[in-house]
Amino acid sequence: MKANIYYITYSSIPSELPSSLQIIKTCEGLSKNKNLVTLIKPGTGIKKISIRKFYDLKENINIKEFKSIKNFPSGIKFYLYSFYCLFYILRKKDPIVITRNYFVSYLLLIFNIKVILEVHHDINIEGRVNKFIIKYLNFFKKKKLIKIVAISNSVKNLFVKKYLVNPKKIIVLPSGSSIKVTKRPRFSFNKRLKIGYFGSISYSKGINTLIKLSKIDQENDYYIFGGKKEELQKFKNRVSNKNLFFMKHISYNFLPKIMMTMDILTIPYTRKVNSAGGVDDISQYTSPLKLFDYMAVGKIIISSNLKVLREVIGQRNAYFINNFENVFEWKRKIQFVKNNRVKNLIMSKNNLILSKKFNHIKRVEKYL
């Protein structure tokens, strides 16, 4: 039976942010599972860009956009938007709403609308209104809050222990990938390796580690994909070595082709990983999309040894760095990769197999 699903977000879509990509791919997966899906989002205020083309969508998703009111403070804009969403949903028949927003959720729950809440981090970074709702209005005990989707076991444990949420109400669904490859990965063993990073350009994501690593490892080439033009230029101005290349953000439909040209893909996170906007340390809770895309193209992964990543991958899938920012340990591990052809081929195969478990379509099957 088809469900009428509405995903409410306050994120800017389309955008290069991983959160926006995950929202779109969740909607696409739900649509592929024969549900009627509508994405409700704020207007961007810029020239219309095709969301279908931007994200290479294969499934039909309805888009409802509420235009932003000019010259209003951002806080007031958000609350007006939340009420727009409420009035829109109240006119629909048997809706199920998915959202990451506590205030919107609470408005809907007052009117007995079924809500599935996605949680990615601790509540401590939420505003005062959301904290009040959670602490004093029995938010997590509402019957129509039918499910909470946590992106990692660490997030689930946090909500169970700290906020006394019924564990039966929470399901753990790590991020996923929509990438499918038809060619077997190739590797440049015993030659100059292409070592890549895809994602946000920030110090907490390990960009500084890669810069330092490229300086002491002139035998290989390093490629950093992502970030805005001004961010890339700032780093380019700092770096003079010729084996480090800063590349612009790659749209999702071209991502597999570019990733397949790399030999090693990296997750060089520091011990404190900042969320978008830098308001929270997500190192205990993160489930980075890049990890699942890396596995989907079957490449060798070298990663900082974060406990939360071990929920998904083990030593059969990645080489781990214990001293996250020790560039000499990174260099030794890269040399080890060069000298272990057979193990790398096995790891590549393991990642291709494991990635099938974490594609976006299978992920959303468990939402309803």
Domains contained in the chain, CATH given: 4-178+360-364 (3.40.50.2000), 194-358 (3.40.50.2000)
User: Using an 8 Å Cβ cutoff, are 351 and 301 in contact?
Assistant: yes
- 3-state helix vs strand vs coil in the chain, percent to 5: 40, 20, 40
52-90 pLDDT, tens digit per residue, is 888 888 888 999 998 777 777 777 889 999 999 999 999
Opening angle at CA 116, ends 78 and 28, nearest 5: 85
User: Using an 8 Å Cβ cutoff, are 174 and 180 in contact?
Assistant: no
146-187 pLDDT, tens digit per residue, is 999 999 999 999 999 999 999 999 999 999 998 888 788 887
Quote the CA–CA distance of 366 and 305 in Å, as a whole number.
28
215-224 pLDDT, tens digit per residue, is 999 999 999 9
Quote the CA–CA distance of 189 and 198 in Å, as a whole number.
22
Quote the CA–CA distance of 42 and 64 in Å, as a whole number.
8
Count, residues in the chain: 368
Q: Work out the end-to-end distance of the chain between its first and last CA atoms, rounded to an integer number of angstroms.
A: 11
3-state secondary structure of 138: coil
120-138 pLDDT, tens digit per residue, is 989 888 888 999 999 889 9
Q: Which two tokens stand for residue 314?
A: 């083990």
Q: For strands 264-267 and 194-198, give the pairing.
A: parallel
Whether the pLDDT of residue 359 is over 70: the answer is yes
235-245 pLDDT, tens digit per residue, is 888 888 899 99
- Whether pTM > 0.85 for this model: the answer is yes
Q: Given CA atoms 331, 344, 269, 277 in this order, what sign does their dihedral have?
A: positive
Overall average pLDDT of the 330-342 stretch: 93
Beta strands in 151-294 (DSSP E): 170-172, 194-198, 221-225, 244-247, 264-267
Which residues lie closer than 8 Å to 216 by C-beta, 6 or more apart?
Answer: 327, 328, 331
User: Using an 8 Å Cβ cutoff, are 66 and 43 in contact?
Assistant: yes
Q: For strands 244-247 and 170-172, give the pairing.
A: unpaired
User: Using an 8 Å Cβ cutoff, are 39 and 23 in contact?
Assistant: yes
